[in-house]
Chain A
C-alpha cells in the first residue's frame, strides 16, 4: 500500500482534520485582512461566547456520530435544562443545586434516547427527532412565553467575564478542559476504540466482545448531561431562562461535527477536527455578519460548506478507487479495505 511510504509528518498533516484546520486558518487570515472590525479584540471574546454552547454539545456528538448514530434532541435538552435551572432557582433552590439537578435531568433525557436506541433497537434519527419535539414541548410548556430572570450578577457576569485583561473569556478554560477530556476518551481509551469499532461495524464489534448497547447508552447519557450543562451556560450568559433558548442549535452542532471530518457513516473522526469545525462556523458567521450579510446568506454559506464536506471525500474516494482499479487490477484487496 502506497500510504505506508509516506513520511510520518505527511501522515499527520494530510488528514481530513487538518483540511478543516487549514480552511479555518485561511478563513481567519482572509477575514482579518478584508473585514472591517474583525481584527479587534472583541472578535475573540464574542466568538468564544457564541461558540461555547455549540462546542460543548459537539463534544459528545462527535462520539455519537463516530458510532454511526446521531442525537438531534440536543438543542431541546439545552432549552429544557435552561427552563429547569430557572424554575428551580425561582423556587428557592441554590444555584449549585439547580445546576446539578438540571444536569441530572439532562442525563435522564439522554438515557431515554439511549435506551430506545440501544435496547429497543430503534433508529437514533427517528428517536431523537421525536425527543427533539418532546423535550422542546416540555420546555416551552413549563414556562410558556415568560422567562425567569434575576440570576445573581456574580453568576451571570462569570459566564461572560474575561481572563484578567485578555480578550479570552473565562469559559475558554472550561471548554479546553472538557475538550481534552473527550479527546482522551475517544483517542486514548478502550472505550474510544469501542466507539470507532461500533462505527465501522456494529456486528463485528459485538462479536469481538464490545458491549455495543452499554456503549451507546453511555454516549447518549453523556450527550444529555453535557447539553444540559450547555443549557445552564446559555441561561447565565443571557441572564434569562426561556423555553425557546437555543432553538435550532442542533443544526450548527451537526454541521460542525461533519465539517470537522467525522464520517456520518461512523467509524472515523477526531476531536481536533471538530473543534476546528466549530471555530470555522463561528468565524464565518462573525465575518459575514460584520459585512452586513443577512442571516439567510450565512445559512446558505454554512449549508454549502456542510454539503461539500460530506460530498467531497466521497468524490475523491470514488476517483481514487477507479484509478486504482484501472491501473492495478490485482490490487483489489486494498480497495476493498479502504472502502
Chain B
C-alpha cells in the first residue's frame, strides 16, 4: 500500500513538473501576445530538406514583416497526422496557417474549422480543394515549366538538332501536360529543333538509366535529352557522365540540387530547372500576412507587395503563381541543399 502511494505521488509529480517545464519553455518560443501576428507553418512532414528550405524562406519573410512564424508538423507525410496540428492552430487562434497539404480533401474539415475561428489558410506546394483555403501559392504553371525547359535545351544545343524526352510513366498527368505544351511550342517557336522520340522511365532509376542508353544508341545524332522528372534527369545524367557522350549530349529538365550536384560539377549538366522552395515559403508567408492585414481577401485581381519578390496578383481560384521556374547551374547550386 505504501509503495503504491509513493509511486502514485512520484509519477504524478514528475508528469506535472514535466508538463509545467515544457509549457514554460514553449511559451517563450511561441513568442508574442494576442495582438501580434502569429503564423503557423505546417509542411507535409518535418526533417525534409525541401521543406526546410521553404521554412527558411518563411522565417526570412517573418523577420522582414515583424511577425512570428512557428513550424510544426508530423514526422510522416500523411494527412491524418497533419490534422492534429491544424486543430492545435485553431485552438491557439493563430492568425494564419500556411500548409502543404498531404491530401486535397482529408484535411479539409479541419481547415474549415480553423477558418471559422478566424484563421487565414494559405496552401503552398500541394493544394487542397479550393473551398478549404483562402489562397494557394502555386510553385509553377504548366506553361512556365514547358517554356523554361525548351529555353534551356535550345540554349545548350545551340538552337538546332535532334532532341528526345525521357518522361516518368506514360500516364503521368503532369508530365503529359508539359510534354504536350512543349510539342506545341517546338512546332511554333523552334523550327530547327526536332523531337525524335519520347520514352518513359516510369520514375524508376534503373529503367530511366536503361532508356537513356537505348535513346543514345538508336539516335546517333541526338544532341540533347529533356527529362521533366527528377528521377529521370538524375538517371540520364548518371548514364551520360560515364559515357562517351559526356560533353556532347546535353541533359536538362526538372531536378533537385542535391541529386544533380555532382553532374553539374563534372560538367555533364550545364543547367536545369525547378522552382525555388525558399522563395515559395517566402511568398506564402507574405501572402498570409497580407490576408491577415486585410490588404487582400483572396479574390481574383487582388494585388499585394511580397518584399524582395515584388508585386503579385491573385489569379483565378485564389491562386498566386510564384513565377518562372528557377534555373540551377554551376554558379548557384552550392547555395541550395534539398
Contact = CB atoms under 8 A, between A and B. Distances in A.
| Centre residue among A10, A14, A38, A234 by max chain B CB count within 10 A | A14
Contacts of B70: 292
B109 interface: yes
A290 B92 contact: yes
Classify the secondary structure of A's interface with B: helix
B76 A34 contact: no
Interface in B2-51: 3-8, 11-12, 14-16, 18-20, 22-23, 25-27, 29-30, 46
Interface in A302-319: 305, 308, 312-313, 316, 319
B229 to A, nearest CB: 15
Given A160-B109, A246-B80, A296 B27 contact: no
B19 A147 contact: no
A156 B103 contact: no
Given A291-B27, A292-B26, A308 B11 contact: yes
Contact of A292 (B72, B76, B87): B72
A290 B88 contact: yes
A319 B27 contact: no
Contacts of B316: none
A22 B80 contact: no
Interface string B78-119: 111001110110111100000000011111110000000100
Classify the secondary structure of B's interface with A: helix
Interface stretch (A24-32, A106-114, A172-180): A24-32
B91 A46 contact: yes
Contacts, number: 145
A40 interface: yes
A319 B16 CA distance: 25
Contacts of A3: 1
B3 A291 contact: no
Interface in A35-69: 35-38, 40, 42-43, 46, 50
A84 interface: no
B26 A22 contact: no
A240 interface: yes
B74 interface: yes
Contacts of A23: 8, 11-12, 15
A30 B26 CA distance: 15
Nearest to B70: A292
Contacts of A160: 109
Contact of B27 (A15, A27, A36): A36
Nearest to A238: B106
A30 B109 contact: no
A316 B4 contact: yes
A240 B92 contact: no
A101 interface: no
A247 B78 contact: yes
A288 B22 contact: yes
A86 B62 CA distance: 41
B19 A27 contact: yes
Contact of B30 (A240, A242, A292): A292
Interface string A275-317: 0000000001111111111111100010001001000110010
A22 B12 CA distance: 7
A291 to B, nearest CB: 3
A288 B15 CA distance: 12
A26 B12 contact: yes
Given A3-B1, A14-B5, A305-B15, A240 B105 contact: yes
Contacts of B105: 147, 149, 239-240
Contacts of B26: 288, 291-293
A100 interface: no
A30 B78 CA distance: 31
Contacts of A2: 1
Given A23-B11, A42-B91, A295 B46 contact: yes
Interface of B: 1, 3-8, 11-12, 14-16, 18-20, 22-23, 25-27, 29-30, 46, 70, 72-76, 78-80, 83-85, 87-88, 90-93, 103-109, 117
Closest 10 A-B residue pairs measured CB to CB?
A291-B26, A240-B106, A238-B106, A316-B3, A289-B88, A37-B91, A46-B87, A34-B23, A149-B105, A26-B12
26 contacts: A14-B1, A15-B4, A18-B8, A22-B12, A26-B16, A30-B19, A35-B19, A36-B92, A46-B87, A50-B84, A147-B105, A147-B106, A160-B109, A237-B109, A238-B106, A247-B78, A292-B29, A292-B30, A292-B72, A294-B46, A295-B73, A301-B22, A305-B15, A308-B14, A316-B3, A316-B7
Given A289-B88, A291-B25, A312-B7, 12 more contacts: A18-B8, A19-B8, A30-B16, A34-B20, A42-B117, A50-B87, A234-B80, A237-B109, A238-B79, A240-B103, A242-B78, A295-B72
